[in-house]
Structure 1
């Protein structure tokens, strides 16, 4: 063994043996183990449009700036209700075809936000389309590149009934007499983004992040309902469209500051819009509802934030009022 460093056959053989052992331990065994992974009961397989959108997501190399992994650290609870697990990737890890392996969607950079739960944070079709056409329309400070090749500028006389018009404000369109139409690729990509919703864990609804901090529970006077932070909920669910200062985006999303609906003494219309969404085309884009996403307390907290901010001054909404309207809305849907 004294001449180990001089025996080239022994050196190469040892290096090759080490490479094979490490490859088996680090790559092959985990690869076989992950094949046994099963989807969570609440997960749904991708539709044809969502699967096409996944492939466009990979083609555009969105993974270079966005992650899809909620790490088991407390700062990541912004991106999901729990840390990610292998089952979350069951459908996205399927091979693209015989020759190509499934794409790696985890990512390693967060130049942009994590997209694990973006389908819940941003459920609206119009928001995503505006964001792809020019991110600065909805996020003024965004450094994300635009994707104009996913859209087409058409003269109004040439627009077909099947075309999906995107409510882009006029100042963001180079031509004064044309409108923006989303291509099928753009629609498929948005379908995929809307499908990204973190599935609930069965039998373990309260998975904590590590390290876990003590929650600062809000206090209330006797007889008052304890509500979540309305400003935080608004920023997470509404500000991207209606802006942090409630000013909205002309031609895309209405302003909330000074809105007659927000300041109405009867909050029913406001609560129903938050629950059911609203279609104000062609003046504004379509808003998706939060009926299945937000609780009565969360809707009340958002409504109260809107009714007491940016110069608005209206009576507070209670969770009981939201509950009554939710029951009424469900009765209409039956």
Structure 2
């Protein structure tokens, strides 16, 4: 054939074939996605520190070990309340005219998925300690430490963010560990990663291949089972599986007077609105508000904490918790 003898025609046809495939496989589907998928209500595009933090996330290779996609399989239920959809990524835009990296969905999970990390772990103090030394909060962690994102300072200013180090991880006796602006920006990006709820009436995608348990739980208290799971999802990272917390960083729940108090008002207030009144511990974020915990969920968490690790506190009812939460909401309109 003449085309194989004429290099101009051969390369011309090859180029047209490649261009046509690119339009069909990449460009038209991208335009279709952009046209038919709008950002979910309540979601916001990255700006300021969060956008700078995304660049630091990329520069430090975090995307190599962490994905940002909740697949529609049962094993992904721990990473988000629902499978990811295209609208979850509609706010992602080019970082620069010459740099795309719109989405960081990742290809493997050496570390956990981060799609909903801003809701799962909202504590800035936890993230900073985890970045400085992952083993300080998760003993078995294989994540590398990022000490260059921090500095030791003898003279602390009001604007400095001091990182509370737990017992056994203290550094220099006359200096404090301070987070750099890069560390704070990275944490701001991680805190921005949240799965937004779908608009009312919109059917959520379902998780496939649900695991079936052969264990008979009919004789067990379902609220206690839920409490253990809710504690694991909302509290365990800081207060640890043994309830002992981390001395110098996060307070213990084991033997805690607040947890065991017959009047649960203070404990419920801390869960819903957070707590930052003790310098020896990191600030607790408003976990209940951030995760939109319902009265029955708060009840299950509290009853789990009161009956675990040797604690023997009084069991409370959903009605008690709901009454106190209603009062708290009148004091905090944004709750």
**Structure 2-normalised TM-score?**
0.89
Shift of 1:193: 0.8
In structure 1, runs of 5+ residues without a counterpart are none
In structure 2, runs of 5+ residues without a counterpart are none
Match of 2:294 in 1: 295
Equivalent residues in 2 for 1:192-271 (5 A)?
192-202=189-199, 203-204=201-202, 206-212=204-210, 229-271=226-268
Match of 1:144 in 2: 143
Q: How far apart are the structure 2 equivalents of 1:145 and 1:97?
A: 29
Match of 1:77 in 2: 77
Q: How far apart are the structure 2 equivalents of 1:152 and 1:15?
A: 55
Deviation digits for residues 49-86 of structure 1 (CA, Å, limit 9, x no counterpart): 21221222122221100000011112111111111112
Matched, 1:23 2:18: no
Q: How far apart are the structure 2 equivalents of 1:225 and 1:74?
A: 21
Match of 1:159 in 2: 156
Shift of 1:14: 6.5
Contact 1:227 1:298 in 2 (8 A): no
Q: How far apart are the structure 2 equivalents of 1:74 and 1:225?
A: 21
Match of 2:314 in 1: 315
Deviation digits for residues 269-312 of structure 1 (CA, Å, limit 9, x no counterpart): 22221111111331100001223221111111111111001010
Q: How far apart are the structure 2 equivalents of 1:220 and 1:295?
A: 25
Q: How far apart are the structure 1 equivalents of 2:81 and 2:216?
A: 18
User: Quick one: structure 1 residues 226 and 306, their matched pair in 2 at CA, closer, same or farther if it must change by over 3 Å?
Assistant: closer
Match of 1:32 in 2: 31
Matched, 1:279 2:276: yes
Shift of 1:205: 5.3
Stretch moving more, 106-115 or 20-29: 20-29
Shift of 1:214: 7.4
Shift of 1:218: 7.2
Equivalent residues in 2 for 1:19-168 (5 A)?
19-36=18-35, 37-92=37-92, 94-155=93-154, 158-168=155-165
Contact 2:167 2:246 in 1 (8 A): no
User: Quick one: structure 1 residues 217 and 24, their matched pair in 2 at CA, closer, same or farther if it must change by over 3 Å?
Assistant: farther
How many residues of Structure 1 are paired with residues of Structure 2 in the alignment? 327
Q: How far apart are the structure 1 equivalents of 2:175 and 2:38?
A: 48
Q: How far apart are the structure 2 equivalents of 1:115 and 1:244?
A: 21
